[in-house]
Amino acid sequence: MPNLMEIIRQIQRDLSCPICGQSYEIGKIRLRGLFDRTLIIQTICASGHLTLFMTTVKVQKKIPISTNDIIDLHKALENFNGDFQKVWKN
């Protein structure tokens, strides 16, 4: 996972207040919660507009995949009939 400071810097770069359009100061971006890989970020702009953002953290750790896994995946995709509901029920 990228560290919190990187996430906060990225938010500061990419986001601005949806009400007045001001960009945020680093100190005004706070982490409010983490659910699975979703971060809840609270921001407050210089005019005092409070906003909550949700962002999903990309996992950077690389998981080794064996050749067998790829063959299995191909088989699974060949047999897959597009019925996601069925897949999720199993």
> By the criterion CB under 5 A, which residues form the site for Zn ion?
17, 19-20, 45, 47, 49
**Which CB sits closer to Zn ion, 38 or 47?**
47
Residue 44 CB, shortest distance to Zn ion, in Å, is 8
**Which CB sits closer to Zn ion, 11 or 45?**
45
What are the C-alpha distances in Å from 40 to residues 31, 33, 56, 82?
6, 5, 9, 32
Residue 50 CB, shortest distance to Zn ion, in Å, is 9
Residue 85 CB, shortest distance to Zn ion, in Å, is 42
**Which CB sits closer to Zn ion, 16 or 57?**
16
